[in-house]
Every structure is written in C-alpha cells, then in structure tokens.
A and B are shown apart, each in its own frame.
Chain A
Amino acid sequence: DTEVTQTPKHLVMGMTNKKSLKCEQHMGHRAMYWYKQKAKKPPELMFVYSYEKLSINESVPSRFSPECPNSSLLNLHLHALQPEDSALYLCASSLYPGQGNGKLFFGSGTQLSVL
C-alpha cells in the first residue's frame, strides 16, 4: 500500500462551523505533513509531525489545530475559519523526518471552501 488517503475530497463550511480533515497512510512512514495550496500557487508547509510529535508549526493561526493520534493518522481540526482559508489542503508523509527525506507521498487533497 503506497497511498496517502485524505477525506473528505471536498468540504464547504461556514465561518462558525467546526470540521476536521483526515489523513491516513499505512506505509510505516514516521513523518507526516500538512500543506496548504492556494490556486495557482505552490504548496505551503503548515505543520510537520515527526514520530507522532509536532516538530514544525509554520506560524499557522490557532483556528487550525493538528492532531496525530497514531503513526498512521493525521487530522487537521478547523474552527472559525475565514473565507481566505479556502484552499486545497494536502497531506503528505515520508519514511523518516530530517534532511534527505524530501521524497514525500501526497494525498489527493481536500478542497475546502469557507463561506
């Protein structure tokens, strides 16, 4: 199994809603990532989990809350989002964290629209 599975594929939410994005991999990878991608822009790193611990937070607003319940699962909890948060949210994993481990496996993303 060489897939990273993201659910849902599409999500529409109001600014007062609470929702969660889910990501799952069964490749035994020990690093997992959340990226945000706006239209016609490259992906921007949000969070990195190394061995199930949060190791990088790229100054992401607290309305985004990541969670790594175990080595296979990664969640992104959303609360009180703004319309400008509308984007494609990509989850990725790599075998190990650290330099030289930039071969990432990406999910197909969740297209989020905030109304």
Chain B
Amino acid sequence: SQELEQSPQSLIVQEGKNLTINCTSSKTLYGLYWYKQKYGEGLIFLMMLQKGGEEKSHEKITAKLDEKKQQSSLHITASQPSHAGIYLCGADMNTGTASKLTFGTGTRLQVTL
C-alpha cells in the first residue's frame, strides 16, 4: 500500500510569515491532491497535481509536484489566521473500478496574531 508522510506534523507561525509543508510518498506519485480540514469538520479540496514538475497556485497557496523525488510541497505566502487548520495530502490509487484516495499523516497549522 502507498504511504504518505507529511512534515512537519505541526506548525505554529506568526501572521504574515511564509511556510512550507511537505508530503513524501513511499511509491511513485501519479497524482497528488491537497486538502484542508477545519477541526472536526469535513475536508475541503485545494489543488490537484498530476504531472511531474507541475505547479499550481490559488490565492496565497502554491503547490508543486516532484515525481522523481516522490514529493509534493505546499507553500503559503503571508499566512493569515484563516489559513489555520489541518493540511492533508492525498494520493490516488486506481483500483480499476474506483478511485481510492489515501491521505497523508496531516500537518496542523496554527497562525498566531
């Protein structure tokens, strides 16, 4: 089975600071998804990366996929309190009939004022 390890496990940053979260896979990544979860709530889709070297941005969040290193990174620029939550990477394991999304260990982000 595919394992996704995220680092750091938790992060506390001051508002306005930049930060990076990493996701490393035990197997080759064919597609990588980033989600955000507020505590005790559902997940919200952020971005999908499918090609090696691909980079996507949405507002102040940028994600990159490095297939050779089996890694993805999520970078937040000028963090805000609204960025606080749990960030989860997910890898898509195609079983033929259904998509099986497996999630990483998660990174808890706190943004202080």
Residues of B within 8 A of A42 (CB): 88, 103-106
A113 an interface residue at 8 Å Cβ cutoff?
Answer: no
Which listed residue (B94, B97, B99) contacts A94, Cβ 8 A?
B99
A-contact bits for B42-61, CB 8 A (1 contact / 0 none): 11110010100000000000
CA distance A33 to B42 in the complex (A): 13
Size of the A side of the interface (Cβ < 8 Å), in residues, is: 32
Contacts of B35 in A (CB 8 A): 104
Q: Indicate with 1 or 0, residue by residue over A42-76, a CB within 8 angstroms of chain B CB atoms.
A: 11110010100001100000000000000000000
Q: In the complex, which residues of chain A have a beta carbon less than 8 angstroms from the beta carbon of B92?
A: 99-102
A100 touches B101 (CB 8 A): no
Q: Are A108 and B97 in contact (CB under 8 A)?
A: no
Q: What residue of chain A has the Cβ atom nearest to residue B42's Cβ?
A: A106
Also in contact, A56 and B106, with CB within 8 A (given A102-B48, A104-B43, A108-B41): no
Q: Chain A nearest CB: distance from B11 CB in Å?
A: 15
Answer whether A107 and B42 are a contact pair too, CB < 8 Å, given A31-B98, A98-B99, A100-B99.
Answer: yes
Within 8 A of B (CB), among A1-18: 4, 6
CA distance A96 to B88 in the complex (A): 22
Could you tell me the distance between the alpha carbons of A99 and B91 in the complex, rounded to whole angstroms? 10
**Which residues of B1-59 have CB atoms within 8 Å of chain A's CB atoms?**
30-31, 33, 35, 40-45, 48, 50
Residues of A near any B CB (own CB < 8 A)? 4, 6, 31, 33, 40-45, 48, 50, 55-56, 88, 90, 92, 94, 97-109, 111
